[in-house]
Amino acid sequence: MSRVICISSQKGGVGKTTTTVNLSTALALAERSCLVVDFDPQGHATQGLRAIHRCGKETLWQAMTGKTSIREAIVPTSLKFLHLLPSSRELLKAEAALQRMGAKEKRLSTLLSGLRSEYDFILIDTPPALSLLTVNGLVAADSLMIPLQCEFYALMGLRHYLRFVAVLKEHLHQTLQLEGLLLSMLRERVRCHPIVDKIRSGFGENVFRTAIPWDWDILDSAAHGKPLLLQDVRSTSSRLYLELAGEITNGRKRTGSCEDFDFAAAARVTGSGTAREECFSTRV
């Protein structure tokens, strides 16, 4: 059975898509079969893989509306172990269309259930919004990975997002786990900032050991429609994505809190006044 990971955050531009594209590639290079579900109408994951995926006739949207089967919509890539469910602009209609469908929060979960035996990992890239698409992504997943930039607004946004996930977990998906927080787009000057220590000490094992730096090569690879790992496998960030894949496949040393993560309790302490003051009392 596959592990379905939803890569999500309400905040835009934090590295959700970049993580999806490069982590899935790292897993595929390690010969773990992986399906990327581009569940964002922006279609950035589809674009980020455009140099390596084959074009198909059907899309995820068509599968969602029952016009085709989910299998018909999957396209292969030049990597044997990596497949893609591409997005399209039509997915914009999904928000309204889902409102009219029965079990509107479980549509994606139902579609993916038939594929779970075929992949080791299914990674879902979601839009930067607390929308029905995001809800579907989370309900379809076993766990949630949250890319996080180390900055003031990010911490406040995380508090809000954790509250949202807590409510979703209570009402729609009681077994949703936290896969982990991923420190992403880390700038050189922030690396030793107290906020990094605070996040690591506050969330403990729930933060991946691997952190992804801000790296021009990552930005550049997106412009070429290729995962960085296929552009330059020996680059520092490629190595880090392989390490991140290792953390996921080997199972990080966990305290057990990840498996039954209390999103509501975490929201109460994240970005609270005291934490904010402590984190930002030192200038970066």
Ligand X SMILES: Nc1ncnc2c1ncn2[C@@H]1O[C@H](COP(=O)(O)OP(=O)(O)OP(=O)(O)O)[C@@H](O)[C@H]1O
- Residues near ligand X (CB under 6 A) are 12-18, 40, 42, 44, 128, 184-185, 212, 214-215, 218-219, 222
Q: Position 168: which residue type?
A: L
39 vs 61, beta carbon nearer Mg ion? 39
Residue 44 in contact with Mg ion, rule: CB under 5 A: yes
Q: Position 67: which residue type?
A: K
Closest approach, Cβ 265 to ligand X, in A, equals 25
Contacts of 237 (CB under 8 A, 6+ apart): 22, 212, 213, 215, 217, 218, 228
Closest approach, Cβ 1 to ligand X, in A, equals 27
Angle, CA 31 vertex, CA 30 and CA 36 arms, to 5° = 95
Residue 143 in contact with Mg ion, rule: CB under 5 A: no
Residue 169 in contact with Mg ion, rule: CB under 5 A: no
Closest approach, Cβ 49 to ligand X, in A, equals 13
Tally of CB atoms within 10 A around 129: 14
Residue 11 in contact with Mg ion, rule: CB under 5 A: no
Selected binder of Mg ion within 17, 22, 77, 109 (CB under 5 A): 17
Distances (CA, A) of 171 to 174, 200, 241: 7, 29, 34
Q: In terms of Cα–Cα distance, which of 148, 139, 141 is closest to 98? A: 139
Selected binder of Mg ion within 2, 4, 6, 16 (CB under 5 A): 16
Q: Which residues bind Mg ion (CB under 5 A)?
A: 16-17, 44
